[in-house]
Structure 1
Amino acid sequence: MRARTARTIFGALAIVIAVIWVFPVYWMVNSSLLPNTTLLSFVPTFVPFGGSLNNFTAALADGEFYAALGMSVSITLIAVFFCLIFAFLGAVAISRFRFRGRKSFIIAVLVVQMLPAEGLFIAQYKMVASVHLLDSVIGVSVIYIAAVVPFTIWMLRGFVAGVPADLEEAAMVDGLSRFGAFMRITFPLLAPGLVASGVYAFLQAWNEFTVALVLLPSEAAQTLPLWLRGFVQASATRETDWGQVMAASTLVAVPVIVFFLIVQGRLTSGLVSGAVKG
């Protein structure tokens, strides 16, 4: 009886926490469907009856949205792709091999995570400007990759270390090369870890604002977070239209939601696997 009561209490508490966590997202979507006059009313509207897509139409009519979308997609895909490659190789190196400087490399990976991003802005700006890559996809992507790779290496290390090396040795006894044994036996088992690491890299690259603000000074080269800031500022000059702002925010969030829906199965198994292995 006590166990059932405890489960009921914890279940109710979990539902309350979930509602609190989801409510801001729901309120953003709900507000994006309502006119500004309704949003400014003292009586909140929790269900958008009579709402419309006019706010989305206004946000999409902004000529800079599609350019910013293309910039964000390009930077994110490049950052995620190369981050996973470099992090995967680094994780395999420190998990499967013993070499001079291995411990120093691991410590360096951890120390890099302790550096505040704001303290690197000046150095990053000068470095990117010196090779004439300001306002470019490559310049921002390189900085994103360098920022995300250390933590991703540490994340993947637990997955690689959790796969017994004996499996590869058994495959080598059966005639496979070391590389073949790794790719055919170990690599498929690392798929959940790669997905979990890819989600982390995706979120960091897609939502990042401050580095993009420094390295993309031109209004012609903006990521979606920078476009959203400009959209809000433009709206404020004529009295902020919160419906349009919420619609624009929803448009920025939609790709993240879609991405999560696609990989959520693998992500769940990856997080659980990483928690018990390594």
Structure 2
Amino acid sequence: MARTASRPTTIMANSIGIVAILASTFPVYWMINSSFLARNEIRSPTPTWMPFGGSLDNYRTVFSTDQFVSSLKISLAVTGLTIVVALLFAFLAAVAVSRFRFRGRMSFVVTLLVIQMIPAEGLFISQYKMLETAELLNTVVGLTLVYVAGVLPFTIWTLRGFVAGIPFELEEAAMVDGCTRTQAFFRITLPLLAPGLVATGVFGFIQAWNEFTLALVVMTREDRRTLPLWLSTFTDVNRGTDWGGIMAGSTLIAVPVIVFFLIVQGRMVKGVTAGAVKG
């Protein structure tokens, strides 16, 4: 019989958990709170903890130009393409590495680890020259290519663990019942991979949505900015930093991420439950 934790230990563990949650959520609260405050209130040495009497002026500033909408469209296009392409290639690569034995298999896995150790800044010049030669600078396709190249190694490595964790005997049992190998994979293995696909998709979405440095190198025109690049326009040498605009813009940028996560969270739970029943 398992021993139950003592009451002081439980209280201490719960207290640590509450403190950790508050510490992680406070920056988000402060961002949203500041988005409703005027510039003098944000810069005041006395913090304003609640935005009573606040206004929507910062949000009006964000929507006063069409640049936010155009940047939103570019970010959505690049992020969506990155997720689809990265998951497709990572899925095929993960299945090949986990289910088949071929020459160079381990070398491929080691190469994935080595690639993740290379600093992204060390590749900027070569990536820029390649895209410039292919005339893909300031294009959604060009930025998507470099994003996929950055996301793919980690995505393959993550999906490889999910595929390897599904027993091959499940497919063999399905083939005994009359399924072909392809049918067994798509009917048995693929539904069980739903949590892995969702988890890697969330990672790719967040990385592509919030990425700044690669977008700064590839998207050099002002009318081809992604949302993180557009957010930097609130900093001016003469006028200083418009912290209210930055906080309002950051809040709006975070909304699609939250919505996406809420959608896929339900699908993740559904996939785990379906996998448990079918197993």
Stretches (4+) displaced over 4 A: 265-271
Other-structure match for 2:263 = 262
Describe the shift of the 1:269–1:124 C-alpha distance in structure 2 as closer, same or farther (beyond 3 A): farther
The yes-or-no answer on 1:186 pairing with 2:203 is no
Whichever residue aligns with residue 261 of structure 1, its letter is L
Q: What is the CA–CA distance in structure 2 between the aligned matches of 1:191 and 1:15, rounded to whole Å? A: 31
Q: Deviations over 1:158-195 (max 9, x none)?
A: 11011110000010111111111000001000000000
The yes-or-no answer on 1:242 pairing with 2:273 is no
Gaps of 5+ in 1: 272-278
Q: Indicate if the aligned counterparts of 1:163 and 1:189 stay in contact, CA closer than 8 A.
A: yes
Q: Deviations over 1:103-144 (max 9, x none)?
A: 111111111111110000000001111100000000010111
Q: Indicate if the aligned counterparts of 2:192 and 2:271 stay in contact, CA closer than 8 A.
A: no
Query: Counterpart of 2:125 in 1: which secondary structure?
Result: helix
Describe the shift of the 1:35–1:164 C-alpha distance in structure 2 as closer, same or farther (beyond 3 A): same
Query: Counterpart of 1:48 in 2: which secondary structure?
Result: coil
Gaps of 5+ in 2: 273-279
Q: Indicate if the aligned counterparts of 1:193 and 1:270 stay in contact, CA closer than 8 A.
A: no
Q: Deviations over 1:193-213 (max 9, x none)?
A: 000000010011101111111
Match of 1:38 among 36, 41, 44: 41
Q: Deviations over 1:14-40 (max 9, x none)?
A: 101110111011000000011112222
Q: What is the CA–CA distance in structure 1 between the aligned matches of 2:218 and 2:141, rounded to whole Å? A: 11
Q: Indicate if the aligned counterparts of 2:235 and 2:242 stay in contact, CA closer than 8 A.
A: no
Other-structure match for 1:160 = 163
Q: What is the CA–CA distance in structure 2 between the aligned matches of 1:128 and 1:113, rounded to whole Å? A: 21
Q: Deviations over 1:25-70 (max 9, x none)?
A: 1000000011112222222111111122221111111221111111
Other-structure match for 1:19 = 22
Match of 1:216 among 216, 219, 235: 219
Higher deviation after alignment, 38-47 or 184-193:
38-47
Q: Indicate if the aligned counterparts of 1:33 and 1:51 stay in contact, CA closer than 8 A.
A: yes
Q: Indicate if the aligned counterparts of 1:125 and 1:215 stay in contact, CA closer than 8 A.
A: yes
Other-structure match for 2:136 = 133
Describe the shift of the 1:173–1:267 C-alpha distance in structure 2 as closer, same or farther (beyond 3 A): closer
- Deviation, structure 1 residue 240: 3.1
Q: Deviations over 1:79-104 (max 9, x none)?
A: 00010000011110010000111111
Query: Counterpart of 2:235 in 1: which secondary structure?
Result: helix
The yes-or-no answer on 1:76 pairing with 2:58 is no
Q: What is the CA–CA distance in structure 1 between the aligned matches of 2:114 and 2:147, rounded to whole Å? A: 17
Q: What is the CA–CA distance in structure 1 between the aligned matches of 2:205 and 2:116, rounded to whole Å? A: 18
Other-structure match for 2:275 = none
Other-structure match for 1:233 = 235
Other-structure match for 2:92 = 89
Query: Counterpart of 2:54 in 1: which secondary structure?
Result: coil
Q: TM-score, normalised by structure 1?
A: 0.92
Q: What is the CA–CA distance in structure 2 between the aligned matches of 1:194 and 1:113, rounded to whole Å? A: 20
Higher deviation after alignment, 168-177 or 236-245:
236-245
Q: What is the CA–CA distance in structure 2 between the aligned matches of 1:88 and 1:257, rounded to whole Å? A: 25
- Deviation, structure 1 residue 239: 4.0
The yes-or-no answer on 1:123 pairing with 2:126 is yes
Other-structure match for 1:54 = 57
Other-structure match for 2:31 = 28
Q: TM-score, normalised by structure 2?
A: 0.92
Describe the shift of the 1:57–1:5 C-alpha distance in structure 2 as closer, same or farther (beyond 3 A): same
Query: Counterpart of 2:224 in 1: which secondary structure?
Result: coil
Q: Indicate if the aligned counterparts of 1:196 and 1:266 stay in contact, CA closer than 8 A.
A: no
Describe the shift of the 1:270–1:208 C-alpha distance in structure 2 as closer, same or farther (beyond 3 A): farther
C-alpha RMSD of matched pairs (Å): 1.7
Residues matched between the structures, number: 269
Q: What is the CA–CA distance in structure 2 between the aligned matches of 1:251 and 1:108, rounded to whole Å? A: 38
The yes-or-no answer on 1:197 pairing with 2:200 is yes
